[in-house]
Amino acid sequence: MAKTMGDLARRLAQDTNDDGDATPILIGDLKSGITSPVGQSIANILLRQEDAQAAPVGYKPPGVLSSKACKADTCCVWFYVSAALTSAFKGPTGRCNEIARQAIRLGFHDAGAWSQSNAAAGQDFGGADGSILLSGSEISRPENKGLAGIAALAKATAKSFGVGYADLIQFSAIHAVVTCPLGPRIRVFVGRKDSSTPAPTGLLPGVNDSADKLVALFQDKTIPPHDLAALVGAHTTSRQYFVDTTRKGAPQDGTPGVWDTLFYNQTVGTGPLPKQVLRFNSDLVLSADPRMNNEWLKFAGPGGQSHWDEDYATAYTRLSLLGVNNINNLTECSQVMPAAQPTFKGAGNLLITE
């Protein structure tokens, strides 16, 4: 896990993937200027000049949830939210469970419904704004089937703790990842603005999309092929219920309760592939695409776990801030996240879901 600018520089220098990635760009209000320390830090992450993973530091809340001291500390309420989510997301074997998987997917589906071209045309809405739960219609779209469990939990949590939906959705997605054994401890920022305006349609990927369509779709979100290769690795913990209804619950790799790189191996056929695993066609075409194949194989190879964790953290930070136009005013609350689990006994045991 890279922790210094030197580590990051060495990693970038070693990355020879010929993916055609352009220099990363700033998003949201950062395009108009960086006006705060947190804005500068986020800009550095987006430009791959600062680590998107948080070092494990302790946080002690200044008081109980209802106290004046807690209310005066922006991160205090999130400490209590974090404790509640840890209980909700961890299965009986210590792996991340079904509701954690849904939380990761919900984070993608709320934030991913945004594009540069729409924003340039005056439709700068959607993205990480909570509309997937607040609009009343977005959650019912076909691509959002299977999210009822996390939607109910998120609504109850937002009401119980008095936090915003946009922040809670992204906080939960990041929390679910670190709850999974081997998952990175991604830095977390709060203060997004909620919106009940339904996000534009047609902005989420499909399992039968071509590589060209998927690459173009994500490039329009400022996410290049290099980062797309990292983001689709979230399928390491997914299980499908609607792609093939005759195989409901089929995982996309053999260890769906662990945040490991087996997904990358099994997608390209270099790892043991139990018959229960269902590989999405979209993952197969991306793994073979020359813009991503080299990076894909690096994730699957020696040292791939730390490489992927680092790249995923950077890519997801960008995704989690799409459509957010008050980045300079956000607050970092990474300190309330649980510690990462870089090792886990039985991590390689196949087909244990939680």
Binding residues for heme b, as ranges, are 235
Compute how many other C-beta atoms are within 10 angstroms of the C-beta atom of residue 6. Answer: 9
* 8 Å CB contact between 284 and 273: no
How many angstroms separate the most distant Cα atoms in the chain?
56
Give every CB contact of residue 15 below 8 A, 6+ residues apart in sequence: 226, 295
Annotated binding site for Ca(2+): 110, 129, 131, 236, 253, 255, 260
Element (H, E) at 100: helix 98-111
CA within 13 Å, CB half, 241: 10
Compute CA 7 distance to the chain's CA centroid, rounded to the nearest angstrom: 22
Give every CB contact of residue 220 below 8 A, 6+ residues apart in sequence: 115, 116, 117
Compute how many other C-beta atoms are within 10 angstroms of the C-beta atom of residue 299. Answer: 23
Among the options 109, 175, 226, 307, which is catalytic? 109
* 8 Å CB contact between 50 and 250: no
List the structure tokens of 13.
């220098």
Q: Is-catalytic flag, 175? A: no
Distance CA 110, CA 179 (A): 20
Distance CA 31, CA 175 (A): 28
The DSSP letter of residue 302 is: T
Phi, psi of 332, deg, nearest 5: -85, 130
Distance CA 299, CA 248 (A): 28
* 8 Å CB contact between 131 and 198: yes
List the structure tokens of 10.
């060495």
Annotated binding site: 110, 129, 131, 235-236, 253, 255, 260
* 8 Å CB contact between 266 and 253: yes
Q: Point out the residues that are catalytic.
A: 109
